[in-house]
Structure 1
Amino acid sequence: MQWAQQRGFGIRVEWGQAGARMLGPEAACLVVIDVLSFTTSVSVATDAGTAVFPYRWRDDSARVFAEENAAELAVGRREGGPWSLSPAAIRRAPFTERLVLPSPNGSTIAAAVEGTPVVAACLRNVSAVADWLVAQQWGTADRPIAIIPAGEHWPGTDTVRPALEDWLGAGALAAALIERGLTTPSPEARTAATTFEATRDSGALITDCASGRELAAIGFADDVAIAIERDADATVPVLTDNAFVDRRPR
Structure 2
Amino acid sequence: MNVLHGFHYTDQAPYDCRIEWGPRGARAAAERGDIVIIVDVLSFSSTVVTALHYGALIIPYPPPMEGARSFAAAQGAELVTGRAEAAKTGGHSLSPLSFGSADRSRPFVLCSANGAACTAAGAAAQTAAVIAGSLLNASAAARAAERLRLLRPGKAVTVIACGERWDNARQEENSLRPAIEDYLGAGAILSGLSGSRSPEARLCAAAYEAVRSDVRALLLDCASGRELRLRGFEDDVAHCSSTDRYEAVPMLQGGRFVDASAPDALIGDAL
Shorter-chain TM-score bucket reads over 0.9
The structure 2 residue matched to 1:106, chosen from 106, 115, 124, is 115
How many residue pairs are counted as aligned between the two chains? 246
Structure 1 residue 64 displacement after superposition = 1.4
Structure 1 residue 149 displacement after superposition = 0.2
Alignment of 1:98-247 (within 5 A): 98-113=107-122, 114=124, 115-116=126-127, 117-137=129-149, 142-157=154-169, 159-177=175-193, 182-199=194-211, 200-247=213-260
Task: Give 4+ residue runs of structure 1 displaced > 4 Å after superposition.
Answer: 92-96, 138-141
Alignment of 1:35-114 (within 5 A): 35-80=41-86, 81-91=90-100, 94-95=103-104, 97-113=106-122, 114=124
Q: Please list every run of 5 or more consecutive structure 2 residues that lacks an aligned counterpart in the other structure.
A: 3-7, 264-271
* RMSD, matched Cα: 2.0
Cα deviation digits, residues 197-241 of structure 1 (max 9, x gap): 111311111111111001001111111011011111110100111
Residue in 2 aligned with 1:15? 21
Structure 1 residue 130 displacement after superposition = 1.0
The residue type paired with residue 176 of structure 1 is G
Distance 1:220 1:193 in 2: 28
Cα distance change of structure 1 residues 78 and 209 upon mapping to structure 2, 3 Å threshold: same
Structure 1 residue 58 displacement after superposition = 4.7
Residue in 1 aligned with 2:266? none
Cα distance change of structure 1 residues 210 and 249 upon mapping to structure 2, 3 Å threshold: same
The residue type paired with residue 201 of structure 2 is A
The residue type paired with residue 210 of structure 2 is A
Distance 1:233 1:101 in 2: 20
> Which secondary structure state, in structure 1, belongs to the residue aligned with residue 84 of structure 2?
helix
Distance 1:46 1:186 in 2: 31
Cα distance change of structure 1 residues 50 and 140 upon mapping to structure 2, 3 Å threshold: closer
Structure 1 residue 88 displacement after superposition = 1.5
Residue in 1 aligned with 2:267? none
Structure 1 residue 56 displacement after superposition = 1.5
Structure 1 residue 137 displacement after superposition = 2.5
Instruction: Give % identity.
Output: 39
Cα distance change of structure 1 residues 26 and 103 upon mapping to structure 2, 3 Å threshold: same
CA contact (8 A) 2:79 2:109 kept: yes
Query: TM-score, with normalisation over the residues of structure 1?
Result: 0.92
Cα distance change of structure 1 residues 44 and 152 upon mapping to structure 2, 3 Å threshold: same
The residue type paired with residue 63 of structure 1 is R
